[in-house]
Structure 1
Amino acid sequence: MGADTSIDLGFASFFFFAGLFLAIGEVCNMVGVVLAMPLSKRLGKKTTFLFSSVMMGILSIAFFYLPVTNSGFVCMLLLQIVISIFTGVVSPLVWSMYADVADYSYYKHGTASTALIFSSGSMAQKFGGAIAGSAVLVLFSAFGLQPNAVNQTADAICGMKLAMSYIPAAISVLMVVLMFVYPLTTEKIREMKTSW
């Protein structure tokens, strides 16, 4: 029996697959959120965040090399499951780490900056969402993606693959770098709390 080299999604099947892809991502994201607390209690927030970011980066790169076949789509779904779980783990950790930063500000300077820290984080997320949304459109335009076109150029396909692989991986690398300089380890947080 030959290798699976065809894609037969059909019109309705494509929309079913796209919906399934997004729905699985959301459900697995919720699973990750549930896992965030036990993992961070066991490994520490910084280590959990670092590990999740590294895994998101590695698995995102794998997207680029998936074959354009039916089995490739199955692999894409499997990657979506695992990446979404790690994304779900990171999401609540960010907000928990904001609280640690607020505590650290009080510990270091004797002033409570909780509102400023949380509002700054919230503003950064809003700006990030706006910039990311427009950046995708700029990227697709740069690669010559034609909306609603049945056949896309090789450059356009490459742009779409990069948007699902190397670009998210680059953001994961940035998260890892920032975590390496983030000073609030489990030991530091314990030291802060015992000093109060």
Structure 2
Amino acid sequence: MIEEKNEGIFIKGSKFMYVWMFLATVGFLIACIFLITHGLKFNSKYSFIYLGGGIVLTPFYLYLTLWSLPGLIPGKILFSIIPGEDGKLILKRKEISIKNIQNINLVRNPLNLINDIIIETFNDKKFRIRTYNLLAEMDYEMIVDKYLYPYMTENTRKVWDRKVNLEILRQELKYERKEQKID
């Protein structure tokens, strides 16, 4: 999930989340098709329920599957981080200075049910990193706290401290924040 190299840190989805997303999208789509085919056989008193459920749920799961397909590419890098005092957060075609980050949130998009990382900068720009639900909420919090927090401005750190629960991160992920020398 986190690949550290000399030139930076690459954030990818975990293998567990790849399997989970595949089952949640493609698996349910296959289940809907199964319901429709067995409903069309009319050899059970529940055939109309199978047929109705399959027909109603197929467009929904097809919609979710189409939104999630770009995230199912194995080894897809969601974003990269170059740590340091002049550190950057690198998206596909954009770079954001870590010092320029005013606020960072993990938000679920209500239209496609995919989590997005929303970054607001001091120059009033918003950036969206689509995670395709491959990055769990606890992993997101640990990544921000470990790789971005030490280089954020003091006000941004205070905002982040109100959002993150370090006790849960310690219990669940065995993550401890290293004390930073703050200038």
Same-fold call, TM > 0.5? no
TMscore range, shorter length: under 0.3
Q: Give TM-score scaled by structure 2 length.
A: 0.26
Highest RCO, 1 vs 2 (Cα 8 Å, sep ≥ 6): 1
Q: Give the structure with the higher percent strand.
A: 2
TM-score between the two structures when normalised by the length of structure 1: 0.25
